[in-house]
């Protein structure tokens, strides 16, 4: 098995460029199903989750050419299956993003029911309720969701209980050809939603209001047409490097994203004592004094992103006093804390609150990535820990960070991927 080894204590400095956003690229790839022909996506990150979405599309009959590393030409003209099997959904829950596009193009879809995942149950009830309101009939059978549209899709008002990213996206895509107007109320407002709406509009859809809590989709009767589109920069990858620079001291310039997409994160980091200079598509981060302990709570955009919670906890674990981090988006997203405790952090979990008492130092240890962002945050802790930190289960990190080790090495970190024997299994 492969692990990431980090030797602590080396300063970080220089420049790093982030890739296109994972959470956008996956949905844009799914949306290509709606426009028969060859859609070109540029700035696509070369990460494991994108490879899984590629497998999903190919399973349905799409052809994919990779140009260079970051450009995908996706030909969906011969797609003749509307089914996503469990072995693919089990690898990546976001495979369910094909539900909306398949309903829109074929009026039917079979998608394996996602199981729980390590950051919580991650239900899809809001996707189902919203699509039912548009006229979709669902049957759940042998672990698969069978969706049909016996009377077509009809625009209506769908009010989401929670501003779910995935439900907003599936509804936006399913309603592109629905009769009349579909209104998604309490819609998610993430930059990736806006990127998807832009792609759909370039393809000929009529989506208005993306980025606000009310999205209107006016159904069009013509087929969508393929286009060329650049994936928005990854604000979470950028935020991860910003947090790392803040912990290690910097200065580091992070390029390839829109600082406004990290608005509240950068503001909170400034309150924590980081010095951040914003520029066009980049920011430069450094820190001289101590890290100030402040409370954080995660919320849908423009609130503080849950995907930045672990990296922020890592910073606050070296804060100058105590604070509370409240996780409002996912249950079970504090597994990272117990690994960080192994490195000397002082964190107590109470329900969806983490009480964090700052410590002066982390000590290098063997730790395990609990999930994608938690894995990155453990490598981050290793950058400033005494001695060597070994992070295992790094397949989580590979899901969402391209050339993570190379990028950190480029900033001056002492970090490498190392093959180690599998630990012995003891019953």
| Contacting positions for ligand UD1 (CB under 6 A) | 23, 26, 94, 120-127, 162, 164-167, 188, 305-307, 329-330
CA max distance for the chain: 64
**Locus of tokens 């981060």:** 285
Angle at the Cα of 231 from the Cα atoms of 261 and 131, rounded to 5 degrees = 85
Angle at the Cα of 364 from the Cα atoms of 360 and 369, rounded to 5 degrees = 110
Say how many Å lie between the first and final Cα of the chain, rounded: 20
Q: Which is nearer to ligand UD1, 252 or 378 (CB)?
A: 378
As measured in angstroms, the least distance from the Cβ of 167 to ligand UD1 is 5
DSSP-assigned beta bridge partners for residue 124:
none
Cα 406 to Cα 17, 110, 338, 410, 414, distances in angstroms: 12, 39, 27, 6, 10
In the residue annotation, 117 being an active-site residue is answered as yes
As measured in angstroms, the least distance from the Cβ of 234 to ligand UD1 is 11
What are the φ/ψ torsions at residue 242 (nearest 5 degrees)? -60, -45
Angle at the Cα of 44 from the Cα atoms of 104 and 415, rounded to 5 degrees = 140
C-alpha torsion angle, residues 86, 334, 339, 417 (rounded to 10): 50
β-pairing, 14-17 with 346-350?
A: unpaired
Burial class of 30 by CB neighbour count within 10 A (0 to 12, 13 to 18, 19+) = buried
Burial track 221-255 (b if 16+ CB lie within 10 A, e otherwise): eeebebbebbbbbbbbbbbbbbbbbbbbbbbbbbb
Q: Which residue is nearest to ligand UD1 (CB)?
A: 166
As measured in angstroms, the least distance from the Cβ of 80 to ligand UD1 is 26
List, by residue number, the catalytic residues.
117
């Amino acid at each position: 098995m492969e692990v990431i080894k980090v030797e602590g204590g080396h300063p970080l400095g220089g420049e790093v460029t982030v890739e296109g956003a994972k959470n956008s690229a996956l949905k844009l790839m799914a949306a290509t199903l709606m426009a028969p022909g060859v859609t070109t996506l540029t700035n696509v990150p070369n990460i494991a989750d994108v490879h899984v979405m590629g497998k999903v599309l190919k399973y349905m009959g799409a052809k994919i050419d990779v140009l260079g590393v970051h450009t995908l030409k996706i030909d969906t003209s011969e797609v003749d299956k509307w089914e996503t099997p469990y072995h693919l959904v089990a690898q990546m829950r976001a495979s369910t993003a094909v539900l909306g596009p398949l309903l829109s193009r074929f009026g039917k879809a079979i998608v394996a029911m996602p199981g729980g995942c390590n950051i919580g149950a991650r239900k899809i009830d809001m996707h189902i309720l919203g699509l039912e309101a548009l006229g979709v009939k669902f049957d759940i059978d042998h672990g698969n969701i069978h969706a049909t549209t016996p009377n077509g899709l009809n625009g209506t008002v769908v009010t989401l209980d929670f501003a779910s990213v995935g439900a907003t996206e599936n509804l936006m895509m399913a309603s592109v050809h629905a009769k009349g107007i579909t209104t998604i109320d309490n819609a998610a407002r993430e930059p990736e939603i806006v990127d998807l709406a832009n792609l759909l509009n370039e393809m000929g859809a009529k989506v208005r209001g993306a980025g606000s809590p009310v999205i209107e989709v006016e159904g069009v009767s013509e087929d969508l047409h393929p286009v060329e589109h650049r994936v928005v920069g990854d604000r979470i990858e950028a935020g991860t490097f910003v947090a790392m620079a803040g912990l290690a001291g910097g200065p580091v310039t992070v390029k390839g994203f829109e600082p406004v997409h990290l608005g509240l994160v950068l503001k909170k980091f400034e309150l924590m004592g980081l010095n951040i200079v914003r520029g066009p598509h980049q920011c430069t981060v450094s820190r001289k004094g101590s890290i100030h302990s402040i409370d954080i709570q995660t919320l849908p955009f423009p609130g503080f992103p849950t995907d930045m919670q672990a990296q922020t906890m890592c910073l606050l674990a070296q804060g100058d006093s105590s604070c509370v981090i409240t996780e409002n988006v996912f249950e079970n997203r504090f597994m990272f804390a117990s690994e960080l405790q192994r490195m000397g952090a002082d964190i107590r979990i109470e329900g969806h609150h983490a009480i964090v008492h700052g410590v002066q130092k982390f000590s290098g240890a063997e730790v395990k990535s609990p999930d994608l962002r938690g894995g990155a945050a453990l490598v981050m802790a290793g950058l400033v820990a005494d001695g060597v930190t070994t992070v295992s289960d790094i397949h989580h990190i590979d899901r969402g960070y391209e050339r993570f080790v190379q990028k950190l090495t480029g900033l001056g970190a002492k970090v490498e991927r190392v093959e180690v024997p599998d630990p012995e299994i003891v019953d």
